[in-house]
A and B are shown apart, each in its own frame.
Chain A
Amino acid sequence: MKSDRPEPLLAVRGLTVAARDKRGRETVIVDDVSFDVAPGAVIALIGESGSGKTTISLGCMGYARPGCHITGGSVMLQGQSVLDQPLPALQRLRGKDITYVAQSAAASFNGAMRIDDQVIEIPVITGAMTRAEALERARGLYAALGLPDPDTIGRRYPHQVSGGQLQRLMAAMAMISDPRLLILDEPTTALDVTTQIEVLHAFKTLIRDNRTAAIYVTHDLSLVAQVADHILVLRDGRMVEHGPTEQIIAAPRAPYTRALMDAAHVMPEEIASPRIAAVPEAPLLQVRGVTAGYGRDREIIALRDIDLSIGHGQTVGVIGESGSGKTTLGRIISGLMAPVSGEVLLDGRPLAARVAQRARGDLKQVQFAFQMADVALNPRQRIGKILGRPMRFYRGLGQAESDREVARLLERVELPTAFAQRFPPELSGGQRQRVNLARALAAEPRLIICDEITSALDTIVAQQILDLLASLQKDLNLSYMFITHDIATVARIADRIAVMRLGRIVQQGPVDQVLTPPCHEYTRLLLNSVPEMRTDWLDQAVHERRRLVAALDGTPEAKR
Chain B
Amino acid sequence: MKLTEIIGRRLLIGVATLLFVSVLVFVGTEILPGDVAYAILGRGATPELLQQVRDRLGLDEPLVVRYFVWLTATLSGDLGTSLANGTDISTEIARRGSNTLILALSTAVVAVPLAVALGLLAATRPGGAVDRVISGASLALISFPDFLVAVALVSIFAVQLGWLPAIASIRPSYDLFDWIRVLILPVLALVFTILAHMVRMTRSAVLNVLSSPAIEMAILKGVPRRRLLMRHALPNAIGPIINVIALNLAYIVSGVVVIETLFNFPGLGRYMVEAVTNRDVPIVQACAMIFCSVYVLLNLAADILAVIANPRVRYPK
Contact = CB atoms under 8 A, between A and B. Distances in A.
Interface of A: 58, 61, 63, 65-66, 87-88, 90-96, 99-100, 102, 104, 107-113, 121-122, 125, 156-157, 159-160, 173
B126 to A, nearest CB: 9
Given A109-B214, A110-B236, A160-B317, A94 B311 contact: no
A121 B311 contact: no
A109 B217 contact: yes
A108 B223 contact: no
A477 to B, nearest CB: 46
B235 interface: yes
A111 B222 contact: no
A160 B236 CA distance: 17
A160 B315 contact: yes
Contact of B311 (A58, A63, A100, A159): A159
A535 B214 CA distance: 34
6 contacts: A58-B220, A90-B222, A94-B220, A100-B221, A111-B236, A125-B224
Contacts, number: 76
Given A102-B213, A112-B235, A173 B221 contact: yes
B219 interface: yes
A100 B223 CA distance: 13
Interface of B: 211-214, 216-225, 227, 231-232, 235-236, 311-312, 315, 317
Contacts of B211: 66
A108 B236 contact: no
B221 A121 contact: yes
Interface of A is mostly: helix
A125 B218 CA distance: 13
Nearest to A109: B214
A111 B315 contact: no
A107 B214 contact: yes
Contacts of B220: 58, 61, 63, 94, 99-100, 102
Contact of B235 (A65, A113, A121, A122): A113
B209 to A, nearest CB: 10
B312 A121 contact: no
A94 B214 contact: no
Contact of B214 (A90, A100, A108, A156): A108
Contacts of B311: 111-112, 157, 159
Contacts of A87: 225
Contact of A159 (B217, B221, B317): B317
5 A-B pairs closest in CB distance:
A95-B222, A94-B222, A112-B235, A91-B222, A108-B217
Contacts of A100: 217, 220-221
Contacts of B231: 113
B217 A111 contact: no
Nearest to B215: A110
Contacts of A109: 214, 217
Nearest to A155: B315
Contact of B217 (A90, A96, A102): A102
Nearest to A156: B315
A159 B312 CA distance: 7
A94 B221 contact: yes
B232 A110 contact: yes
Nearest to B312: A159
Nearest to A66: B211
Nearest to A159: B312
A112 B232 CA distance: 8
Given A94-B221, A112-B236, A104 B213 contact: yes
Contacts of B218: 110
Contacts of A104: 213
The CB with the most chain B CB atoms within 10 A, among A58, A61, A104, A121, is that of A121
B221 to A, nearest CB: 6
B237 to A, nearest CB: 10
Contacts of A111: 214, 236, 311-312
A122 B223 contact: yes
Contacts of B224: 88, 91, 125
A541 B260 CA distance: 76
A249 B171 CA distance: 91
A162 to B, nearest CB: 10
B247 to A, nearest CB: 22
Nearest to A65: B216
Contacts of B219: 63, 94
A99 B235 CA distance: 24
B315 A93 contact: no
A96 B235 contact: no
Contacts of A125: 223-224, 227
The CB with the most chain B CB atoms within 10 A, among A66, A102, A110, A113, is that of A110
B123 to A, nearest CB: 13
Contacts of A94: 219-222
Contacts of B225: 87
B221 A95 contact: yes
B222 A108 contact: no
A93 B222 contact: yes
A367 to B, nearest CB: 36
Contacts of A92: 222
Given A113-B235, A159-B317, A107 B213 contact: yes
B248 to A, nearest CB: 23
Contacts of B222: 90-96, 122
Contacts of A160: 315, 317
Contacts of A96: 222
A353 B214 CA distance: 43
Contacts of A156: 315
Contacts of B227: 125
A508 to B, nearest CB: 33
Nearest to B126: A66
Given A110-B236, A111-B236, 16 more contacts: A58-B220, A66-B211, A88-B224, A91-B223, A94-B220, A96-B222, A99-B221, A108-B213, A108-B217, A110-B235, A111-B214, A113-B235, A121-B221, A122-B221, A157-B312, A157-B315
B176 to A, nearest CB: 41
A100 B218 CA distance: 10
A68 B33 CA distance: 65
A109 B219 CA distance: 12
A309 to B, nearest CB: 38
Contacts of A95: 221-223
A110 B233 CA distance: 9
A330 to B, nearest CB: 28
A58 B235 CA distance: 26
A310 to B, nearest CB: 38
Contacts of B232: 110, 113
A156 B217 CA distance: 19
B213 A121 contact: no
Nearest to B211: A66
A112 B218 CA distance: 13
A248 B219 CA distance: 34
A156 B232 CA distance: 17
B2 to A, nearest CB: 15
